[in-house]
């Protein structure tokens, strides 16, 4: 795949495209057109997602308004109560949240939310951004269904600078107002197939959506372009294994696209022998990694293979927070490739994820490496990776998917 084509796709798609939005759909249609130009018959598979239209979101601390955004799908209403800054989740700290609006560090996660509900919190405030950046951006957060499980309390998000001011000034009373319409919408996966000589299938995944502040060039149109490059090769060179390419929607909303694909194609998953996922490649800075949710032997194979072809790599056995995980949870061995840049050189989920953090030569290099790995897997007499998820990875999947709680 030449540099001109790589950069053209990155430029054409460099815009906010949150899961379920019109911009995400238009990007899906764009990728469908790219596939068509390669001679691949790609189609869109819709799946249902929670959506919201926010009408009012406000936060007042001791009577003074603080800029905020209401959490989508947290319900509507008004809450006024004492403020509590929660710095720990030990028993004593949690005993202080009853009847209060709670300020937490970072954004709302599953077990934090369950703790707040259990201990009687009335509403919450989260924050993001960086106190040292010039912007005062506020990300548009949502209270995910897998977090609230039908039990909702109001929440708003603010910028880190304002969170610091609130704590520095010993804020006492908080008032949150949220009014929104919640409804069901659609997100889409883009799916293409290349028939092989045998029905055993390798699935390639990458998400193409972005967060609300981000153009999502690095995270993760870069991986989506990587899939295009791999598909371009196999469209001209029939593989032994059948190949499926899935550009996933709504990954940033909790891996919703890959989860939906696995649910809709559960019967076909019995033929899937491997998932190869690309999530963030081609950045100027950063180390190339492979994360294997599989038997440990795959880690060693990738390390040996990288030496053979001359590629620096860090490989390990773990669960990667990307679209490979729902496949692994269904028993499909999975490997995710990424070039992980330090956060101060290519930050993600904000306005700084732009074409400026990318290098065309690194994109080419990363795509070529994954393609060479894919050739060996796709043309193998039988996939060498065991179609069995080891117990240590099952445990990590349970933790990642919040089916059990870590210590």
Residue 406, in any domain of the structure: no
Residue 106, in any domain of the structure: yes
Alpha carbon distance 137, 31 (integer Å): 29
Q: How is residue 331 written in tokens?
A: 């028993």
Give yes or no for residue 219 having a pLDDT over 90.
Answer: yes
pTM of the model: 0.97
- What is the number of domains present in the chain? 2
- 162 shares its domain with 192: no
CA 253-209-286 angle, to 5 degrees, is: 100
- 138 shares its domain with 206: no
- 102 shares its domain with 196: no
- 105 shares its domain with 139: yes
Q: CATH number of the domain that 296 lies in? A: 3.40.630.10
Between the two ends of the chain, the Cα-to-Cα distance in Å is: 46
pLDDT tens per residue, range 387-407: 999 999 999 999 999 999 987
**Nearest CA-CA partner of 28 in 308, 249, 319:** 249
**Nearest CA-CA partner of 347 in 166, 109, 139:** 139
Q: What is the mean pLDDT of residues 332-344?
A: 97
- 172 shares its domain with 199: no
Give yes or no for residue 16 having a pLDDT over 90.
Answer: yes
Q: What is the pLDDT of residue 407?
A: 79
Q: What is the mean pLDDT of residues 112-134?
A: 97
Q: What is the mean pLDDT of the chain?
A: 97
Q: What is the pLDDT of residue 243?
A: 98
What values do phi and psi take at 49, rounded to 5?
-135, 150
Q: Domain containing 95: what range? A: 57-181
DSSP state of 283: B
Strand duo 101-104 + 241-248: pairing: unpaired
- 175 shares its domain with 193: no
DSSP 120-173: T--EEEEEES-TTSS-------B--HHHHTT---EEEEEEHHHHHHHHHTT--E
Q: In the structure, what pLDDT confidence band is assigned to residue 76 with cuts at 50, 70 and 90?
A: very high
Q: What is the mean pLDDT of residues 319-341?
A: 98
Mark which of 181, 211, 233 sits at the end of a domain: 181
Q: CATH number of the domain that 157 lies in? A: 3.50.30.30
- What percentage of residues in the chain have a pLDDT greater than 90? 99
- 227 shares its domain with 270: yes
Beta bridge partners of 337: 278, 290
Mark which of 181, 199, 220 sits at the end of a domain: 181
Residue 405, in any domain of the structure: no
Q: How far is CA 121 from the centre of its chain?
A: 28
Residue 228, in any domain of the structure: yes
Residue 343, in any domain of the structure: yes
Q: How is residue 333 written in tokens?
A: 């061995």
DSSP 186-233: EEEEEEEEE--SEEEEEEEEEE----TT---IIIIIHHHHHHHHHHHH
309: part of which helix (H) or strand (E)? helix 297-309
386: part of which helix (H) or strand (E)? none
- 40 shares its domain with 76: no
Q: What is the mean pLDDT of residues 188-198?
A: 98
Q: What is the pLDDT of residue 320?
A: 98
- 151 shares its domain with 22: no
Residue 355, in any domain of the structure: yes
- 154 shares its domain with 227: no
Residue 62, in any domain of the structure: yes
Mark which of 140, 155, 181 sits at the end of a domain: 181
- What percentage of residues in the chain have a pLDDT greater than 70? 100
**Nearest CA-CA partner of 269 in 334, 181, 349:** 334
64: part of which helix (H) or strand (E)? strand 64-66
- 253 shares its domain with 344: yes
Q: How far, CA to CA in Å, does 235 sit from each of 33, 41, 231, 239, 380?
A: 15, 11, 6, 9, 18
- 244 shares its domain with 170: no
Residue 407, in any domain of the structure: no
């Amino acid at each position: 795949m030449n540099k001109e084509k790589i950069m053209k796709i990155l430029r054409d798609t460099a815009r906010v495209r949150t899961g379920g939005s019109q911009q995400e759909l238009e990007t899906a249609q764009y990728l469908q057109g790219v596939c068509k130009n390669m001679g691949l018959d790609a189609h869109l598979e819709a799946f249902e997602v929670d959506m919201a239209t926010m009408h009012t979101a406000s936060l007042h601390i001791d009577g003074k308004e603080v800029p905020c955004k209401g959490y989508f799908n947290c319900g509507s209403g008004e809450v006024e109560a004492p403020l509590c800054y929660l710095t720990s989740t030990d028993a004593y700290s949690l005993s202080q949240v009853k009847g209060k609006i709670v300020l937490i560090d970072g954004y709302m996660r599953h077990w934090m939310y369950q703790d707040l509900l259990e201990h009687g919190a009335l509403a919450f405030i989260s924050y993001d951004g960086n106190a040292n950046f010039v912007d005062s951006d506020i990300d548009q957060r949502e209270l995910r269904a897998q977090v609230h499980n039908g039990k909702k309390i109001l929440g708003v998000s603010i910028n880190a600078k304002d969170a610091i001011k609130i704590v520095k000034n010993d804020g006492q009373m908080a008032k949150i107002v949220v009014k929104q319409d919640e409804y069901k919408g659609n997100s889409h996966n883009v799916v293409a197939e290349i028939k092989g000589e045998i029905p055993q299938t390798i699935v390639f995944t990458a998400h193409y959506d972005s967060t609300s502040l981000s153009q999502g060039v690095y995270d993760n149109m870069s991986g989506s372009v990587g899939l295009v490059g791999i598909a371009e090769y196999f469209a001209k060179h029939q593989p032994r294994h059948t190949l499926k390419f899935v550009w996933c929607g709504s990954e940033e909303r909790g891996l919703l696209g890959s989860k939906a694909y696995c649910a809709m194609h559960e019967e076909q998953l019995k033929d899937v022998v491997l998932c190869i996922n690309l999530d963030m490649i081609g950045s100027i800075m950063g180390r190339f990694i492979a994360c294997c949710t599989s038997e440990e032997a795959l880690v060693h194979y990738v390390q040996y293979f990288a030496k053979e072809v001359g590629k620096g790599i860090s490989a390990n056995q773990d669960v990667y927070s990307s679209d490979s995980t729902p496949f692994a949870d269904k028993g499909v061995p999975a490997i995710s490739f990424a070039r992980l840049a330090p956060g101060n050189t290519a930050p993600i989920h904000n306005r700084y994820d732009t074409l400026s953090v990318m290098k065309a030569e690194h994109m080419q290099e990363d795509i070529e490496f994954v393609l060479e790995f894919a050739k060996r897997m796709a043309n193998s007499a039988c996939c060498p990776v065991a179609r069995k998820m080891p117990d240590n990875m099952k445990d990590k999947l349970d933790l990642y998917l919040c089916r059990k709680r870590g210590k």
